[in-house]
Amino acid sequence: MSDRVYIFDTTLRDGEQSPGATMNLDEKIRMARQLETLGVDIIEAGFPIASQGDFESVRAIAAAVKEPQIAGLCRAVQKDIDRCWEAVKDAANPRIHTFLATSPIHMKHKLGKTPEQVLEMTEAAVKHAARFTSNVEFSAEDASRSDWDFLVKVSETAISAGATTVNIPDTVGYTQPHEYYELIRYLLENVKNSHKAVFSVHCHNDLGLAVANTLAALRAGARQAEVTVSGIGERAGNAALEEVVMAINTRQDQYEVHTNIDTEQLFPSCRRLSQIIGQPIPPYKPIVGPNAFAHESGVHQDGVIKNRLTYEIMTPESIGRTGTEIVIGKHSGSHAIRKKVEELGYSLDDDQLAVLFDAVKDLADKKEQVFDEDVEALILEKVYRRRDKFRLKDMSVFSGAGDVPPHAAMVLEFGSVGDESDVRTMSAFGEGCVDAVFRSIYSLVGVTPKLVKYSVNAVTEGSDALAGVAVRIEHGGVSSVGRANDGDVVKASALAMVNALNRLEKAKEER
């Protein structure tokens, strides 16, 4: 049996289905390129039949990324498979990933099919996919709650029809590590043609066991792990890529397998995702959380000072956290900023660097130290943001402390690229500063959406920290997410709302 484990990353498909993790096309491509740098073997880029936007993003990723295989997900029906192939066919190494439920509860209540019909559908779907490519993966949805002997039949059927990868997912996070180990061993020993396919696992974290179950399956002989960066995904999430990989690396004595992951890109990848979706890495997140290498206890501090191995089973450097940094400030030159951009994993041309240089200088005049997170936030906000329909030109806010309620005056610039801009002004009162800002913006834009979510996080440390604001709004059956960073939390809120309204307009146009 091979000791190579293939890392199948589904951050852009299953991960994006996590509430608040929606990404636009540019963000998906940037994340895909980071996954390529990380060294993942397969990127599941999306579900092409789900929408025209999903189709376009999968096709764009297939064209933009060359090293990893690019997979599209599709149901076990012909129209889904055809659409999937159209999306991935231009990839350097495309994969069709088709799935069908196999558990009694799913077959009866969701599919309305008998086991015999499911076997027939499996064969037909895989054979149809194999007409396009030899790189076909079949997933038995809800495998962990399926009859084991029926899974043997399904796996044999899929492999005989042309599947080269068979996925045995714990779709609802139900199984336990010892059960999963035994299931994978049972399949490898009883599926007659198991040697012709790679067996894969895709674990959810509903009981907090996604990583443990994935590792148990790898010990049993599975050789593909389906994971997401930071473990994002449906409900409680998926097995976290960084945790699976570092468990393998740290405990080689237990697993005796290896991956092609560049572990020094783990932290940069998690940070990149955090910036894109506007959700901070939780403090207690294993491997990459802010507290993962922090020591406050005197006993721990004493031990670490004497020998880091006393309380650290891996080094910060091994996952991409470096102790030496180029400090960016108002005296930094363009070469230092270019070097910092490269360290953060971005590739900017001279014009983009000029925009960033001016933005860094402006920020450095307002705060003592510019952190890596500040630079990355400026790249996302100032460099990659395309010209939108609505743009914040100026604002004035009064908080109020007595009889005068908080109010805000907003100045927005209207007009797309190539259009003559139209500057409009509006003021409004509110329950608080942010509420007043939002009411003013709604009046200017002529849309009053439902505010579903509003969150504020400190992107950096200190009283002059850069604030990261994320909002989710809904209007007319369409939802969108807006994000922004600024040293002023009220201004960041205004920018985030304007960003969300621009995305809402684009979503309505696409719809």
What are 213-223's pLDDT values in tens digits?
999 999 999 99
Structure tokens at 430: 């509110």
Strands 136-141 and 94-101, bridge-based pairing: parallel
- Residue 258's alpha-carbon distances to 146, 248, 315, in angstroms, are 30, 7, 18
pLDDT value at residue 325: 44
Minimal CA–CA distance to 155: which of 111, 102, 117? 102
Instruction: Report the C-alpha gap between 365 and 137 in whole angstroms.
Output: 54
Which pLDDT value is given to residue 300? 61
pLDDT confidence tier of residue 17, bands split at 50, 70 and 90: confident
Fold for the domain defined by 6-277: TIM Barrel (3.20.20)
pLDDT at 419: 53
The mean per-residue pLDDT over the stretch 241-265 comes to 97
pLDDT of residue 420: 59
- Helices within 39-176 (DSSP H only): 52-64, 78-88, 104-106, 115-130, 148-161
Judged by average pLDDT, the poorest of 143-147, 357-361, 444-448 is 357-361
Which of 259, 234, 239 is CA-nearest to residue 248? 259
CA distances from 192 to 120, 159, 160, 235, 487 (A): 19, 10, 10, 35, 62
The CA–CA distances, whole Å, from 251 to 176, 184, 248, 332, 474 equal: 20, 21, 5, 42, 46
| Amino acid, single-letter form, for residue 345 | G
Q: Do 229 and 270 contact (CB within 8 A), yes or no?
A: yes
User: Has residue 266 got a pLDDT over 80?
Assistant: yes
230 close to 285: Cβ distance less than 8 angstroms: yes
Answer yes or no: is pLDDT of 286 > 80: yes
| Cα–Cα distance, 379 to 353 (Å, whole number) | 9
Give the pLDDT of residue 168.
Answer: 98
User: 398 vs 407, 409, 428, 435, CA distance in Å?
Assistant: 5, 9, 11, 12
Q: Which has the minimum average pLDDT: 154-163, 206-215, 451-460? A: 451-460
State residue 365's pLDDT score. 79
Q: What confidence tens digit (pLDDT) does each residue in 136-145 have?
A: 999 999 999 9
* Superfamily of domain covering 390-510: Alpha-isopropylmalate synthase LeuA, regulatory domain (3.30.160.270)
| pLDDT at position 301 | 57
Contact 470, 496 (CB under 8 A): yes
Most confidently predicted of 288-297, 393-402, 461-470: 393-402
Domain residue ranges in the chain: 6-277, 334-383, 390-510
CA distance 246 to 251: 8
| Integer Cα distance of 6 and 41 in angstroms | 6
Specify the pTM. 0.77
HSE-up of residue 158 (Cα within 13 Å, Cβ side): 32
What is the spatial distance between Cα 249 and Cα 215, in angstroms, rounded to a whole number? 12
E-assigned strand segments in 319-406: 390-398
Q: What does the alpha-carbon distance between residue 438 and residue 440 come to, in Å, rounded to a whole number? A: 5
Measured between alpha carbons, how far is residue 22 from residues 57, 380, 483 in Å? 12, 16, 11
- Mean pLDDT, all residues of the chain: 89
Spacing of C-alpha 329 from chain mean position: 30
With tokens 């997979």, the residue in question is: 71
Residue with the larger pLDDT of the pair 380 and 338: 338
Q: Mean pLDDT lowest for which of 95-109, 260-274, 388-402?
A: 388-402
Q: Give the amino acid at 76.
A: A
Determine what percent of the chain is predicted with pLDDT higher than 90: 62
